[in-house]
Structure 1
């Protein structure tokens, strides 16, 4: 029997339903209690909202997690929760402002934060403090004070935001020229933000109104090639050495930070005023520090699929969906991707519902994407699989650990305590590795 149009439409509907996207809290497929059901150890969004509600003055909160754990979606819920508490909350995606593969310095980081806040004010209120955006103010500063003569900053059509985001040479030039003015740039950004908070309070007719800026995508800063370590060091310096500059008077800020930061710079939260780093982790599809599937975690992933496509049983046997869930390691983005990878290969109605053998080609393809792995990496991954710790021995190895976490070769779980394990699809390869080079 060939694939009928009706079956093809069902496959397409499931494929589309699992597309990667950031969910708003009002989206019908959003599961508000997913974190508690996934046994993350509390609800980090509710904890962040409560902490901000209780803070006096300004404050800093840190939020982290691997790619695919749903940070951006949860931050959207945080924004909505804060608004429900009567707090003005802005959300800014730093991938629209920062060049995420180059070193970041406190001056250009605060400039982008002030610029992002300025844009959010304009979108919400249709104006900005003093009738000038922060980008206009910073452009004037570069033209008059820094005297950046190499580039005609004030030329018609010049967009400083776009240049800082997309032009690494311009970004580097601004960093170099601005180093003698760092204190002035920091003070200027703080002054603008304080002015903005007062301006918002006037418009809200509340002199004590709390204002929050949620700064997303900072965790995506990562080094590439020979620049890798210098980029990671710049992130550590940003949050550790310049902690005081990130504590902005009157403004409450939530920063997403890379999952390696608490490892690289232990105590960062204390430096930022005692903020605890809240973390999203993969759904615990395995029992604590083991490879034994956890029925509660698998049921959680069943629900995530069912809310998007209730008739998934027509396409997958439950054993096949569980095989995909286990092979994803509980990472939501990876789970959706594996399901989507199986669907285009269905050519006959008789294949449905797919069994474990029917999804195996997709699992093999996903595994092959992560191979080959150098011997020194295999050695490290084997230590992680045996100890369930990161096994980071020296700062110089950080780019490799960041690579493991960014590319999900290593996943972070929390069953009471945080622990780590290798991606399930790599187990066969890692387990077979032996120091003497002989394969069992």
Structure 2
């Protein structure tokens, strides 16, 4: 393997898109100034460290926009401030406690139970949770979730049983339904047991914080027309349980829910809603936003220097034009940036990476967005591109949820937060969009 091949392989892995960065990672880039000037440590952390009562906050944004990396920064900030933090990714592609496709509030409560017990087992008496399990031991045996005799129930067994329960919730639909039937009439007693456990832990530290990440990946379902969706049931109808634990909690939530007509109700329940917007790569008039593009260029530089000290241009990419094309095409969405860069590396056998490889990577990645569009949504896309705004309707929220339209924000000269929207550059760069945009302009001009 020659030196270029080795470096390309290392770059391919350094551009890994689904890997949140840990606090202190040299690849991290502070993008707050180009996405609304809102720091998660101040906006969420400030409330936690200052409020004498428990806080229950929601955090959202486009999937892949960097929420997990920011929440890991929040965890470090809170730990440095003396808090005990229980951070967990409630669901990932191949692990976690929840099923993306089918999640209800009982599942989240069980996940919090397991994570709290695991994190705080050396800080507090776990008997309240052990007793809760003990009282339901026969049901667990009937569900084939345990073969352990009741007299052997101790902390290690309790953790093992909770792990089996949450694993079944994630992977076995039939058992998932039965576990929910078991938990449903016993949620109040489980919350009481958890709070007793938490209060025991507070004897050594009075600020315990749960950060439940990846709940924004829950797929919205609706049992029947006119009924509340599962998201509304979890975050609104069951909010007393979601706010029932005697500690601070940060929940991630799907962006589609926070932009729905339930927004004011959610704000009434959880306080101000924190949403992480995209890195601004353009202004509302379509011109390049240089400060945002610079941040994305730095992100690429840091991924390169992480594996080897090389100049981004011309040693890794052939020209600045190629780098600018790569950065602009992602629309300020960091995961898309890494996906496209990674595929461009894969297209390349010898450095520097040429513009042709980036263009081909863009074309291939564009397909996912184009296939996600329904014919009925094209008129909405064109309207958003024209006005840089969206209407508060389900169809627009669906486009936002699919990242076909992206949100940007900044503070104007009067310190007012301005949010605006545009079609993802990958869609705008397609021949089909350009044709439809030209026809749209012609039709509007003639009318």
TM-score (norm 1): 0.83
Write the distance in 2 (CA, Å) between the matches of 1:49 and 1:299.
Answer: 28
Aligned to 1:49: 45
- Against the structure 1 CA distance between its residues 229 and 330, is the aligned structure 2 distance closer, same or farther, given a 3 Å change threshold? farther
Write the distance in 2 (CA, Å) between the matches of 1:291 and 1:326.
Answer: 11
Q: Is the contact made by 2:212 and 2:250 (CA closer than 8 Å) also made in structure 1?
A: yes
Q: Is the contact made by 2:35 and 2:276 (CA closer than 8 Å) also made in structure 1?
A: no
Structure 1 residue 143, shift from structure 2 partner:
4.4
* Residue of structure 2 aligned with 1:81, choices 77, 81, 92: 77
Q: CA deviation digits over 1:385-419, x for unaligned, max 9?
A: 2333343535xx5xx844x3444222221123222
State the secondary structure of the residue aligned to 1:255.
Answer: strand
State the secondary structure of the residue aligned to 1:433.
Answer: helix
- Against the structure 1 CA distance between its residues 211 and 347, is the aligned structure 2 distance closer, same or farther, given a 3 Å change threshold? closer
Write the distance in 1 (CA, Å) between the matches of 2:383 and 2:364.
Answer: 25
- Against the structure 1 CA distance between its residues 228 and 80, is the aligned structure 2 distance closer, same or farther, given a 3 Å change threshold? farther
Quote the RMSD (CA, aligned, Å).
Answer: 3.1
Write the distance in 1 (CA, Å) between the matches of 2:406 and 2:26.
Answer: 28
The unaligned stretches of length 5 or more in structure 1 are: none
Q: Is the contact made by 2:86 and 2:210 (CA closer than 8 Å) also made in structure 1?
A: yes
Q: Is the contact made by 2:220 and 2:231 (CA closer than 8 Å) also made in structure 1?
A: no
Write the distance in 2 (CA, Å) between the matches of 1:28 and 1:361.
Answer: 29
Write the distance in 2 (CA, Å) between the matches of 1:320 and 1:263.
Answer: 35
* Residue of structure 1 aligned with 2:176, choices 162, 171, 195: 171
- Against the structure 1 CA distance between its residues 152 and 18, is the aligned structure 2 distance closer, same or farther, given a 3 Å change threshold? closer
Aligned to 1:252: 248
* Residue of structure 2 aligned with 1:11, choices 1, 8, 11: 8
Q: CA deviation digits over 1:261-295, x for unaligned, max 9?
A: 2222112443325x2111111110011x3422111
Structure 1 residue 85, shift from structure 2 partner:
1.0
Write the distance in 1 (CA, Å) between the matches of 2:321 and 2:28.
Answer: 25
Q: Which moved more, 1:377-386 or 1:360-369?
A: 377-386
Structure 1 residue 58, shift from structure 2 partner:
1.5
Aligned to 1:151: 143
* Residue of structure 2 aligned with 1:339, choices 341, 345, 351: 341
Write the distance in 1 (CA, Å) between the matches of 2:348 and 2:210.
Answer: 46
- Against the structure 1 CA distance between its residues 393 and 277, is the aligned structure 2 distance closer, same or farther, given a 3 Å change threshold? closer
* Residue of structure 2 aligned with 1:25, choices 23, 26, 43: 23
- Against the structure 1 CA distance between its residues 380 and 148, is the aligned structure 2 distance closer, same or farther, given a 3 Å change threshold? farther
Aligned to 1:391: 391
Structure 1 residue 346, shift from structure 2 partner:
2.1
Count residues in correspondence: 407
Corresponding position: 1:422 with 2:396 = no
Q: CA deviation digits over 1:331-353, x for unaligned, max 9?
A: 0110011111112222345xx35
- Against the structure 1 CA distance between its residues 360 and 60, is the aligned structure 2 distance closer, same or farther, given a 3 Å change threshold? same
Q: Which moved more, 1:316-325 or 1:106-115?
A: 106-115
Q: Is the contact made by 2:65 and 2:277 (CA closer than 8 Å) also made in structure 1?
A: yes
- Against the structure 1 CA distance between its residues 270 and 319, is the aligned structure 2 distance closer, same or farther, given a 3 Å change threshold? same
Write the distance in 1 (CA, Å) between the matches of 2:226 and 2:140.
Answer: 25
Aligned to 1:218: 215
